[in-house]
Amino acid sequence: MTALAVRDLDKSFGGLCVTAGVSLSVEPGERRLIIGPNGAGKTTLFNLITGELRPDRGAIMLFGRDITRVPSHRRFHLGIARTYQIITLFQGETLLRNVMLSLLGLSRLRWNPFVRLARQGALIARARETLARVALDHLAERPLAQTSYGERRRVEIAMALAQNPRILLLDEPFAGLAIDERRDVLRLVTGIPRDVTIVMIEHDMDVALDFAERITVLHFGEVVVEGTRGEVVAHPRTKEIYLGA
């Protein structure tokens, strides 16, 4: 069964067509890279998959289930998790509380107005374990605002992993990172077990190419090239788009 299938997806903003008949299928456990120049519609595609935007036409299937009409927040209960190009976290809170909010999101406890969150031992312990997965447990009590950009990116990935996803959407996880931070994040992403399917948008071809098995090239909202790493790199259209040749 296909992990994620997108069929004939269209999305326009006014007269601007940002997603034009995109079809895509990602197998379970696959590492898929989506590349393309600025404005190619990569992030829009993610937003359509997660339901943060509604498509004008087309269908989205998650493990064989049609989720096109499922409300956005429900999709994250069905095994989707994502990170954002611009880190979107809770600035004023500690790392621990950030991850706790992530765990809480899929728990019925989130509706409970009577108990104390600070007394939820099991939840706190799981949040610490999750932070340990990204080697940040020693900073658990530190406010997020006092951490480095690379650490925040790892917190964001930890929060996505805390959602126990079947499919993980990473939107430019290496953007804005220093070289050593990039290495840390790459090691982290490479270490994610194969029962999680990963789709990644990335500009940084050097880092991303090693990671990807299959690559999709988007250009002006359309899939231009798709194939294995070797096929895509050798394809003349890829060179044309990336080198302007």
Partner 1 sequence: MKRLVVAAALAILATVPVWVGGTYYVNIASQILIAAIFALGINVLVGYAGLVTLGHAGLFGIAAYAGARLMNNGHGHVAVAAGALAVTLLGAAVFAALALRGTGLGFVMITVALGQIVWGVAYRWISLTNGDNGISVSGRPSPLGLSLASAASFYWATFVIFLLAVASMAIFVASPFGASVLGTRDQPRRMNALGYHVWMIRFLAFLFSGFWSGVAGLLYLYYNQFVGPQVVALTASAEALLMVISGGAATLLGPIAGAALVVIMKNVASAYIERWNFVLGAIFVAIVVFMPEGLVPGTARRWRGAMAALRQRAAPPVAAR
The footprint of partner 1 (CB under 8 A) covers: 50, 52, 71-74, 76-77, 81-82, 84, 88-92, 97, 100-102, 104-107, 109-118, 120, 159, 163
Whole-number Å distance between alpha carbons of 225 and 231: 9
Shortest distance, CB of residue 191 to partner 1, whole angstroms?
22
For 1, 49, 93, 143, the CA distances from 120, given in Å and listed in that order, are: 38, 33, 17, 20
Cα-Cα end-to-end distance for the chain: 39
Shortest distance, CB of residue 189 to partner 1, whole angstroms?
18
Residue closer to partner 1, measured from CB, 130 or 238: 130
DSSP assignment letter at 165: -
Residue closer to partner 1, measured from CB, 156 or 226: 156
Shortest distance, CB of residue 125 to partner 1, whole angstroms?
16
Shortest distance, CB of residue 73 to partner 1, whole angstroms?
5
For 37, 88, 105, 132, 139, the CA distances from 200, given in Å and listed in that order, are: 14, 17, 23, 23, 27
The answer to whether the beta carbons of residues 171 and 85 sit under 8 Å apart is yes
Residue closer to partner 1, measured from CB, 17 or 101: 101
Shortest distance, CB of residue 111 to partner 1, whole angstroms?
6
What amino acid occupies position 87?
Answer: I
The answer to whether the beta carbons of residues 199 and 26 sit under 8 Å apart is yes
Residue closer to partner 1, measured from CB, 112 or 228: 112
Residue closer to partner 1, measured from CB, 104 or 200: 104
Whole-number Å distance between alpha carbons of 38 and 58: 23
